[in-house]
């Protein structure tokens, strides 16, 4: 009897395991909520209009380590930006701080995963994401020797994000300066762009000129004529003595500028519109859309001046079909007070008038 029970038990176990092993595995759940990238060329002007009004998430992933400069990107920040009506997020990332410093310059997997999370959360909130390469000091100091470093970084980045939707844009390099000449920059950007196009043939790529993305240097940009998936960018902080008064990184004279106001006089407004109009002339000549990647006035300026300047720059850009992302969300230039968990109303109204 005992042997019979043992035999019956073995038979039942074998039958159960056999049945289980022959059943098909459950259908995998696709958790990716986004559309695949386009398989046909896109209209760069239309894609530029999708940026429209947005924010830079400054001082976060551009720091050597996230949090060192006071900001860790919270998911709720992205919801807050979207809920206020903004449509884009520029994400400054200092990739060279998170990769090997010698060939093949492999990017840290955990850091990649962190960037992935922020990008995905922004996309879930219907924000266009502009992913850039920020604070590449080694490259600015020696663009000839370290150009291959930039190429290898974008080889990895473009491969990693090749299946992301069209609403993720790449920006090759923030504010090339230092030993960059226009000639060196034009040669390097062409190489990097060729690298990106191998895996992302129709993704929007943002490119700005030398001299810290100065609008005066837009005419020095030589962009591949046959690549129309490019959005040209420039940055604007004029007058610098106003926008950077009291900023510790702006030079020894920055404290002498404290108290500088911007009242919106005819001359002050003309100084801004003159630059904008010159940029638009270049845009029409080259048939390239324009994107104002950074503008902002530091918190040491008085609130009324900050409101007037921010409002005038933003409206001036919009009148000329120039999309923009304000510098920045929640630090020294910030429109959002992270400690109080609320917008600075006067800056929010300057950026998003009701």
Q: If you classify domain 40-351 with CATH, what class do you get?
A: alpha beta
Tens of pLDDT, residue by residue over 259-310, are 999 999 999 999 999 999 999 999 999 999 999 999 999 999 999 999 999 9
pLDDT at 169: 99
69-93 pLDDT, tens digit each: 999 999 999 999 999 999 999 999 9
Low-confidence winner among 7-16, 41-50, 197-206, 266-275 (lowest mean pLDDT): 7-16
Mean per-residue pLDDT, 108-129: 98
Neighbours of 260 (CB within 10 A): 19
A 10 A CB-CB count for 12 gives 10
DSSP assignment string, 278-303: HHHHHHHHHT--EEEEEE---TTS-H
Q: For the segment 147-156, what is each residue's pLDDT rounded down to a tens digit?
A: 999 999 999 9
Q: Which of 24-38, 217-231, 245-259 has the lowest mean pLDDT?
A: 24-38
Reported as type and span, the H/E element at residue 88 is: strand 88-91
Average confidence score pLDDT of the chain: 92
The question of whether 175 is a catalytic residue gets the answer yes
Taking alpha carbons only, the member of 278, 256, 275 closest to residue 313 is 275
Percentage of residues in the chain having pLDDT higher than 90: 90
**Is 155 a residue of the active site?**
no
For residue 13, pLDDT over 60 is answered with no
> Is 252's pLDDT higher than 50?
yes
**End-to-end Cα spacing for the chain:** 86
Q: What is the model's pLDDT at position 346? A: 98
What sign does the CA torsion over 252, 257, 262, 266 have? negative
66 falls in which pLDDT band (50, 70, 90)? very high
Let me know: does 306 contact 347? Beta carbons within 8 Å.
Answer: yes
Report the pLDDT value the prediction gives residue 31, as an integer from 0 to 100: 54
Q: Which of 66, 167, 294, 328 is catalytic?
A: 294
Domain residues of the chain, as ranges?
40-351
Q: Span 222-236, mean pLDDT?
A: 98
Active-site residue, from 66, 171, 175, 328: 175
The residues, any chain, with a CB within 8 Å of residue 164's CB and separated by 6 or more, are: 34, 37, 119, 123
Please determine, for residue 14, whether its predicted confidence score (pLDDT) is greater than 90.
no
Contact 212/244 with Cβ under 8 angstroms? no
Whether omega for the bond prior to residue 106 falls within 30 degrees of 0, making it cis, is no
């Amino acid at each position: 009897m005992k042997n019979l029970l043992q035999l019956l038990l073995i038979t039942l176990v074998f039958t159960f395991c056999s049945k289980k092993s022959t059943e098909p595995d459950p259908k995998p759940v696709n958790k990716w909520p986004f559309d695949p990238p386009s398989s046909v060329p896109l209209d760069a002007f239309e894609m530029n209009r999708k940026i429209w009004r947005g924010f830079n998430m400054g001082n976060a992933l551009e720091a050597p380590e996230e949090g060192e400069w006071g900001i860790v990107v919270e998911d709720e920040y992205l919801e807050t930006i979207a809920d206020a009506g903004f449509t884009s997020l520029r994400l400054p990332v200092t990739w060279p701080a998170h990769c090997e410093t010698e060939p093949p310059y492999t990017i840290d997997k955990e850091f990649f995963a962190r960037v992935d999370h922020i990008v995905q959360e922004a996309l879930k909130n219907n924000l266009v994401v502009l992913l850039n390469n920020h604070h590449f000091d080694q490259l600015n100091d020696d663009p000839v020797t370290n150009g291959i470093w930039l190429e290898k970084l974008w080889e990895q980045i473009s491969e990693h994000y090749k299946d992301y939707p069209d609403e993720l844009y790449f920006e090759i390099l923030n504010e090339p300066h230092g030993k960059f000449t226009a000639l060196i920059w034009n040669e390097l950007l062409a190489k990097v762009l060729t690298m990106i196009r191998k895996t992302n043939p129709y993704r929007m790529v943002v490119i700005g000129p030398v001299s810290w993305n100065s609008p005066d240097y837009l005419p020095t940009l030589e962009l591949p004529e046959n690549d129309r998936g490019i959005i040209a960018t420039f940055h604007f902080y004029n007058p610098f003595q106003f926008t950077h008064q009291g900023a510790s990184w702006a030079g020894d004279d920055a404290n002498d500028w404290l108290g500088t106001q911007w009242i919106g006089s005819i001359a002050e407004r003309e100084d801004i519109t003159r630059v904008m109009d010159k940029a638009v002339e270049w845009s029409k000549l080259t048939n390239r859309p324009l994107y104002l990647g950074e503008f902002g006035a530091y918190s040491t300026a008085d609130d009324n001046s900050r409101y007037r300047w921010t409002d005038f720059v933003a409206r001036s850009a919009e009148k000329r079909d120039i999309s923009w992302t304000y510098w920045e969300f929640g630090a020294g230039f910030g429109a959002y007070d992270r400690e109080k968990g609320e917008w600075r109303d006067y800056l929010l109204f300057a950026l998003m008038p009701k």
